[in-house]
Amino acid sequence: MELIHTNASFLNSFEIILHMTTSLKKILVPLDNSKNSFRGLSSAIYFAKMCDAKIIALHSVYAPPKGDFGTSGRFNKDHKKQLDSMMNIAETQCKKSGVKFERKIVYGNPGYEIAKFANSSRNKIDMVVIGSRGRSSAKEIFFGSTSQFVLHKSKPSVLIIK
């Protein structure tokens, strides 16, 4: 369904957006410590304030299985410190805006884990707000795009922020 039709007035389009946002209760915001993921958080805070929604900040730790490349299957202390710092910054931004905040950490391929979390009926996610990494076209061809994967595999609405 198109959100804005060519013959629809601006007011009707605004009413559609307002109706959509007033039904939001939980907004999933994947964070990876990039500028664009924090831009996504800022947009999510805006929507959350409009409809008294809760923000679920999700970080996916990609850890190769135990034994591959001499890894333990988990992340190291430095990564944990960075993760805690990132989540604390996000929580502070939400608190300053009066928005409820919850942090979640998952392990595995980021795109797959974000979509899986968003699609779980247990989590009751109404919308995903995700930052675009801004990779070049050539890199996206080889490595793929987490935001594009989430856009195509998630059941809730997805907003990609650049």
60 domain residue, yes or no: yes
30 domain residue, yes or no: yes
1 domain residue, yes or no: no
4 domain residue, yes or no: no
User: What total of structural domains would you count in the chain?
Assistant: 1
5 domain residue, yes or no: no
Beta partners for residue 104, in sequence order: 58
Q: What is the pLDDT of residue 76?
A: 73
Q: In this structure, is the dihedral angle defined by the CA atoms of residues 131, 62, 99 and 157, taken in order, positive or negative? A: positive
17 domain residue, yes or no: no
Mean pLDDT for back-to-back runs of 10 residues, the chain (162 residues): 42 56 86 91 92 95 62 67 94 97 93 95 95 60 73 91 85
CATH label of the domain that carries residue 35: 3.40.50.620
Q: Which domain holds residue 125?
A: 22-161
Residue pair 53/97 in contact (Cβ under 8 Å)? The answer is no
124 domain residue, yes or no: yes
Q: What is the pLDDT of residue 162?
A: 82
143's enclosing H/E stretch is helix 137-143
7 domain residue, yes or no: no
Token pair 């980021």 is found at: 110
Look up residue 16 and give its two tokens. 């559609």
Task: Give the pTM.
Answer: 0.79
